[in-house]
Amino acid sequence: MAHRVRLPETASLPEEPQLRRIRGEYLEMPGLRLTRPQAQRLWGLDEQTCIELLDRLVDLKFLVVGADGNYMRLTEGTIVPQALRMAQANLPPQQSKTQSR
């Protein structure tokens, strides 16, 4: 029997419209980073409600607070993705079968 691992962003949130809205904004806009006052203005919340909602999303491990005070999705954090590049193998030239005899 296979066990499923529940990821933080798929964890069920309380059925609260404000929490769903904030979570939806972060999912729709990858890279969204907001300070608490910016979040408060964006969603039209009073200071205490905004603090409580952001803290709940941090507790649920959906958001994380950076050292600069910005709230961002935990999966994005401060990791800078590295560009992928093709590897090149430096192999010596092969001799043909006729040359090796």
- In the prediction, which pLDDT does 23 show? 93
Give the total number of structural domains in the chain. 1
Give average pLDDT by consecutive 10-residue segment, the chain, 101 residues: 44 70 92 95 94 93 92 68 56 68 58
| pTM of the model as a whole | 0.60
CB 89 within 8 A of CB 58: no
Cα–Cα distance measured from residue 9 to residue 62, given in angstroms and rounded to the nearest whole number: 5
Which candidate, 12, 18, 69, places its Cα nearest to that of 48? 18
Which candidate, 10, 18, 59, 12, places its Cα nearest to that of 39? 18
- In the prediction, which pLDDT does 26 show? 93
Is there a domain that residue 28 lies in? yes
CATH code, domain with 52: 1.10.10.10
Q: Which domain holds residue 46?
A: 12-73
Is there a domain that residue 30 lies in? yes
CB 56 within 8 A of CB 67: no
* β strands within the chain, DSSP E: 63-65, 71-73
Other CB atoms within 10 Å distance of the CB of residue 30: 10
- In the prediction, which pLDDT does 87 show? 60
- In the prediction, which pLDDT does 93 show? 77
